[in-house]
Structure 1
């Protein structure tokens, strides 16, 4: 059994041996001289110039180096694998020491001119003089240039920070060929779909904004005598303005499209401004002197159910009768009850308190509705982005 194993190993070693041929230096020099003699790199390498050259292109993405949504810059590093058939440069390997392929300088042979049509800095073709091209004896040619591609891109930040576009991750890629027609060049669109990881922005931007929008309403619960109402509301207003600036610094300087987060911040800023104005006007009412007009008193009674609070309702069925023990019957007693109870005077402080409750209810429901619409919209886009 041991001999069988040894024989099997020997057979494997023999079968793995390949006869290799190596062209010498002189063979390579002679090959270069012969195939390039009379070759013009300015002309397409086809015998019949009416026939097209079929060029195959594939792109291998190695790294995504940068995505700057503010500057609308997308930087990647990758390799383009380009192949075509050169009908002019062909040879018999037997004549050149069994050389089946050779490397040629980029400037010595024809190659398809590729141009990045959306560069971030300047427009230039792909390929440098130091690069080489490998051509096989059949004429098949391969060119593998590698480069850093700095491209400009249109950033859609409508659903920022839940946008699907550097803590991004590559989601998918695809290539689209756009034919240019007869006599024009074709276009290859290499499309990258990337997704943002929004948790950092949720914790550091979105949630603080939501919390500030909620605590901003509490300004109407502060006592007017404390003297802190205006400073409280202005502080929250400035905080929202600062967050709006921070969000704006991380977005592209363009108005198309505007992110929903910017509209959300603007609405909250408007609400905070209205709260500040309401607080200042209400404080002027609180410290106002003199009689309150009758119309404001009516509004106060309506809001506070003033008559229910200070009026007295007499139950007609709840009456007290003396009883005659001899005849066992009730003796009606006529009593006079003064139903007109004097109402306390309504002051400007009462009107200010009434305005506080009305304003608090209005801004509370307004803030809840705005936050609900914003969060539901962003969550819906987040789910659709993940499902896609």
Structure 2
């Protein structure tokens, strides 16, 4: 009895499978018949004569900013292309074809407008997922996914790394003899923008701009233009390029804290100069070899280098004055400078360098107290008085006293130059930094 039921069950299942197979085959036949019918009604090379309103919708969708090359003025972009139109020849009744409301066809099985990207330099890889979809209401859709290409876009690095870049991507119709009305479908465009993947170096400024453009060459061509605006993420360059450069620039002032007699002033400032030159070399790898405007960052580092070179020259002069001018008579106007009480009050003249014999005392010959800011007989009388007091206080001969006095005066002069340059250094540093901060804020 059990065997009889098993046989009956097997026969029933076999009949069900056969019926489903027949239904599936009938659906496949209906789809093949629909495909053949559409291919006969719709031309593959020329546009159909019954395109509604002679209107073709072009649409571009941005997927990802792959790379922005400042040296080559090019953008590598991944994007999508969508083209659609309505044709009465593409309509069918879904009930006659097993409920099919859409069908996929091979590429170029039916006509699709020939398009061009004028700014395209190179197509990277093959276009994947290139499809054509026909809807029962007569809509023909052709779209290309994951199109990656190198586009020519002008890059302005004037305000690097706080710059904003703009690139206009055009999708033009290649059939100038056809008077097609090119439009942009906002709903489709909004859908394609949702597939954008963020870039670690660039931020897309939204909303993007879409417009219909015309090109007047040999023929009038129409198309759509997608304007993409990017803002550079500057944190990387701030941390690894700008901050080290500013730290080196500010630290160059420590050169004035190094005593002249230590012999390290020149080596310190030259080391700072070499470090700044390394930063300048890094900029050469970033920016193009020829451009209309110099980047502000390059101008700032170049200004810093010029300033530090000036400090190096001054350091050499100060060291030379400190060590190599012994035995030379100091001019009277320099004696007046290093003897000024006003400069000593504002710490231009260090308190620890002057000898006690260098302090100018009231003299009977002059009849009044001299403060170092006034000289008679072009300073000769004051020099003679200083020499006489130096001999008396130190108990030395006039020749030895004269040499030691000259030595003391020139060392004091080197200290005065160092202090004056220190004040000038901080003034220049402040002006340079404020100037470039203002320039970065100006549009």
**TM-score, reference length from structure 2:** 0.65
Question: Which residue of 195, 203, 215 maps to 1:169?
Answer: 203
Q: Distance in 2 between matches of 1:162 and 1:82?
A: 37
Partner of 1:329: none
Q: Is the 8 A contact 1:22 1:98 kept in 2?
A: no
Give the structure 2 partner of residue 237 of structure 1: 273
Give 3-state SS (helix, strand or coil) of 1:185's partner.
Answer: strand
String of CA shifts for 1:47-98, please: whole Å, max 9, x gaps.
49xx973222333433333334444443333433321123444445555445
**Equivalent residue for 2:82?**
81
Which among 355, 365, 369 is matched to residue 417 of structure 2?
355
1:330 alignment counterpart = none
The alignment partner of 2:221 has SS state of: coil
* Structural mapping, 1:311-326, within 5 Å: 311-312=360-361
Q: Which residue of 1 aligns with 2:59?
A: 58
- CA gap 1:311/1:299 in 2 versus in 1, 3 angstroms: closer
Mapped to 1, the partners of 2:213 and 2:299 lie a distance apart of 37
TM-aligned CA deviation for residue 141 of structure 1: 0.8
Query: Which structure 2 residues correspond to residues 215-364 of structure 1 after superposition, within 5 A?
Result: 215-286=251-322, 287-289=324-326, 290-301=328-339, 305=343, 310-312=359-361, 339=369, 342-343=385-386, 345=405, 347-364=409-426
For residues 204-234 of structure 1, give each alpha carbon's deviation from its aligned partner in whole angstroms, at most 9, with x where no partner exists: 3222222211221232332222111111111
1:26 aligned onto 2:88: no
Query: Residues 2-48 of structure 1: CA distance to partner in whole angstroms, max 9, x if unpaired?
Result: xxxxxxxxxxxxxxxxxxx9972222322333332375422222249
Alignment gaps of 5+ in structure 1: 1-20, 315-336
Give the whole-Å Cα distance in 2 for the aligned partners of 1:22 and 1:180: 51
More off after superposition, 151-160 vs 294-303: 294-303
Of Structure 1 and Structure 2, the greater helix share is in 2
* Conserved 8 A contact 1:46-1:87: no
| 1:221-263 Cα distance to aligned partner (Å, 9 max, x none) | 3222211111111100001111122233233444234321110
User: Bigger CA drift: 166-175 or 359-368?
Assistant: 166-175
* Rounded Cα–Cα distance in structure 2 between residues aligned with 1:69 and 1:236: 29
- Contact 1:158–1:258 (CA under 8 A) maintained in structure 2: yes
- The 1:23/1:252 distance shift into structure 2, 3 A limit, reads farther
Q: Deviation per CA, 1:107-127, whole angstroms, max 9, x where unpaired? A: 222112222222242599x96
Q: Quote the Cα distance in structure 2 between the aligned partners of 1:139 and 1:261.
A: 57
Shifted more, 347-356 versus 38-47: the winner is: 38-47
Structure with the larger strand share? 2
- Matching residue of 1:325: none
Tell me the residue number matched to 1:6: none
On the 8 A contact 1:212/1:236 being kept in 2, the answer is yes
**Aligned twin of 1:105:** 106
Q: In the alignment, which residue of structure 2 is the partner of 1:160?
A: 160
SS in 2 for 1:282: helix
Preserved contact between residue 219 and residue 229 of structure 1 (Cα < 8 Å)? yes
Contact 2:42 2:111 in 1 (8 A): no
SS of the residue 2:164 aligns to: coil
Deviation, 1:295, is 3.7
Q: Distance in 1 between matches of 2:227 and 2:282?
A: 30
Alignment CA distance shift 1:70-1:339 (3 Å) = closer
- The count of aligned residue pairs is 336
Task: Say if 1:374 and 1:32 are closer, same or farther in 2 by CA, change over 3 A.
Answer: same
Taking the aligned partners of 1:213 and 1:278, their CA distance within structure 2 comes to 16
> Is 2:427 aligned against 1:365?
yes
Per the alignment, in what secondary structure is the counterpart of residue 179 of structure 1? strand
Structure 2 match to 1:4: none
Asked if structure 1 preserves the Cα contact closer than 8 Å seen for 2:41 and 2:89, the reply is no
List runs of 5+ in structure 2 lacking aligned partners: 1-23, 166-199, 350-357, 371-381, 388-404
Q: 1:149 corresponds to which residue?
A: 148
Shift of 1:274: 1.1
TM-score, scaled to structure 1: 0.73
